[in-house]
Amino acid sequence: MINPEIKNKGHEPPDGLPRYRLLTGKDDAKFCHRISEALALGYQLYGSPAATFNGQDVIVAQAIIWPEAQQNQGS
C-alpha cells in the first residue's frame, strides 16, 4: 500500500499512469482504499461519484484527474 503521507509533487503522474482515470468497482473497503491511494499520490477527485446496482452489489465510479491536467483545461 502507498504511504498516504507521501504525495508525488511532479508534473506527471507516477509510473506512467494517465492524467485522467475512472476508478470503478464494488462499493466496499477495497474500492475506498483505491481512491485513498490515488489521492495520496496527488490525484484529485473530478466530478461527482456515480453508483448503480447490478442485482447483487452496488457498483461505484469516481473520476480522478492529475492536478496539472485540470489546470491546463482552460488554456
pLDDT 10s digit of each residue in the chain, 75 long?
Answer: 444 444 555 689 999 999 999 999 999 999 999 999 999 999 999 999 999 999 999 999 999 999 974 555 555
Beta bridge pairs of residue 52: 59
Reported pTM: 0.76
Q: Are 64 and 44 in contact (CB under 8 A)?
A: yes
Range of the domain at 38: 20-65
Phi, psi at residue 45, to the nearest 5°?
-65, 145
The structural domain count of the chain equals 1
Residue 51 lies in a domain: yes
Q: Which residues contact 25 (CB under 8 A, 6 or more apart)?
A: 31, 34, 59, 60
Query: Looking at the domain assignment, is residue 26 inside a domain?
Result: yes
**24 in a domain, yes or no?**
yes
